[in-house]
Amino acid sequence: MLRKVLPVAGAVATALLALAQGLTPLAVAGLALGAWVLLLAVTLIRYPPGGAARQEQEGEVTKASERLPPSDHVGIDALPDPALVVLGSWRAVAANPQARQLFGPRVGSADVRQSVRHPAVLDAIRSAMAGDSPAIREVGALGHADGAFRVRAVALGDGRHLVTFTDITQARVAERMRADFVANASHELRTPLANISGFIETLLGPAAEDEPARRRFLEIMARESGRMSRLIDDLLSLSRIELDKYVRPQAPLDLPPLLADVGKTLAMRLEADGRRLLIEVADGLPQVIGDRDQILQVLHNLVSNSLKYGHSGTPIRLSAALVAGSARMDEMVRVSVEDAGDGIAPEHLPRLTERFYRVDTGRSRSMGGTGLGLAIVKHIVERHRGRLEITSRQGEGTTVSFTLPVVPKRIEPAEPEAAASPSAVAPAQPARLELRREP
């Protein structure tokens, strides 16, 4: 402030010297007093008290505001989906990290007509600018990502618009799977129903008096009606399993008797095909947590598949063994069903548990398959918090394995230590459990 006042004081002093020439001392004194009063008034007007402090304070506030991120950035960074703030001039002024990853690092300061370049997105923003807020559109293959997105543009005020991009790919996939499921189920039911209807018309017409034809048609009708019955049973079973998907079983279960029951149930089919079911159970196999009926259904489905697609006269191996736990996984029991057959091509393996998916549709239907067996197995294993694995080698065979959690060990109360004696017997060492695999 002193540097600013000195030029003014110098100008006043120069004026006083000019006026003081030829005046009396009293007049010069009065003139000097008036000049200093004038100087003080000018100084107070140009530099009021506290002005410098206020200027310094305002400067600090300005610098602090420059250090803080804009409110737009703070708001959209908290959003889980990609988001942009767009002005009426189509320029984006803010973008969260998800949006920069989707559209590129410069999207937060570029014209969205150049950085986004999607007609549906631009149409949504245009509608929001015109007052139609919120504007919602659905698009696919947006930016660097494939899939489906729901675009929502809403006005924020002051000429700003918030544009969000929600990934709805999984929802669309689920809808497509439901639609495919309904279409496949309808087709699977329509085919035998149409066959039965056609044979009924034939029996009522030309074959009414043809005893051999009538008997043959009735056998086909019985086979087709049984196919429909199995399909409906599998659909109802799958529905019940999905309803209990998040209800974890709690009952302890002994696996060896269950494996023996499967062999007894399928004994006639095994004998008719010249097959043997070899059951291998590791010594000291602990109890598992499971639903007895559902585990029996899993085993029945897997062994039935081996009967259908394995080579006649070859054995089917059914084994159960303990899998050691780790820091991230509890102890589990692995149950495996192994057959010798043609095997499955690698490209089919990821889709085997889809509903109504078949590697060989004609062969599956001719053997009475519904296309839901492995889908039921997958959902039951998931309900038991287990894991399903399918491995196959073409020309050799297929192995399907699933795991079940072991019943947790109870912590018994500590007993008083017995007096040591020479006759004390050391505790038995736990047996080593190994999975037996074919070379």
Place of tokens 């196919």: 227
Residue 436 has pLDDT above 90, yes or no: no
Please tell us whether the domain made up of 252-405 is placed in CATH 3.30.565.10. yes
pLDDT category, 209, cuts 50, 70, 90? confident
Instruction: Report which of residues 295 and 42 the model is more confident about.
Output: 295
pLDDT confidence of residue 159: 86
What percent of the chain is predicted at pLDDT more than 90?
A: 27
Q: Is the bond preceding residue 134 a cis peptide, omega within 30 degrees? A: yes
CB 295 within 8 Å of CB 258: yes
CB 439 within 8 Å of CB 340: no
- pLDDT tens digits for range 87-146: 989 999 889 988 888 888 888 888 888 888 888 999 999 999 988 878 999 888 777 777
- pLDDT tens digits for range 210-266: 888 888 888 888 888 888 888 888 888 888 888 888 888 989 999 999 999 999 999
Domain-wise residue ranges, the chain: 2-67, 71-167, 172-243, 252-405
The whole-angstrom separation of Cα 164 and Cα 79 is: 9
- pLDDT tens digits for range 379-399: 999 999 999 999 999 889 999
Q: Which architecture characterizes domain 71-167 according to CATH?
A: 2-Layer Sandwich (3.30)
Closest to 388 in 3D by CA, of 425, 422, 350: 350
Place of tokens 């504007």: 135
Please tell us whether the domain made up of 172-243 is placed in CATH 1.20.1250.20. no
Closest to 391 in 3D by CA, of 436, 346, 340, 433: 346
Q: Where would I find the beta strands (DSSP E) of 76-159?
A: 83-87, 92-95, 135-140, 148-157
The whole-angstrom separation of Cα 47 and Cα 44 is: 5
**Positive or negative: CA dihedral 173, 384, 229, 359:** positive
Backbone angles phi, psi at 426, to 5 degrees: -70, 145
> CA separation (Å) from 200 to 207, 224, 234, 245, 368?
10, 12, 26, 41, 22
- pLDDT tens digits for range 308-364: 888 999 999 999 999 887 656 678 999 999 999 888 988 888 888 888 888 877 667
pLDDT confidence of residue 144: 76
pLDDT confidence of residue 429: 39
- pLDDT tens digits for range 25-79: 555 555 555 555 555 555 555 555 555 444 444 444 334 333 344 554 457 888 8
> CA separation (Å) from 315 to 257, 278, 279, 318?
20, 7, 10, 10
The whole-angstrom separation of Cα 87 and Cα 207 is: 79
**Dihedral angle computed from the Cα positions of residues 233, 239, 245 and 249, in that order, rounded to the nearest 10 degrees:** -40
pLDDT category, 421, cuts 50, 70, 90? very low
CB 322 within 8 Å of CB 403: no
Instruction: Report which of residues 335 and 186 the model is more confident about.
Output: 335
Q: What is the pTM of this model?
A: 0.58
The whole-angstrom separation of Cα 131 and Cα 437 is: 70
pLDDT confidence of residue 253: 93
CB 286 within 8 Å of CB 331: yes
Instruction: Report which of residues 222 and 181 the model is more confident about.
Output: 222
Q: Where would I find the beta strands (DSSP E) of 168-264?
A: 252-253
Residue 415 has pLDDT above 70, yes or no: no
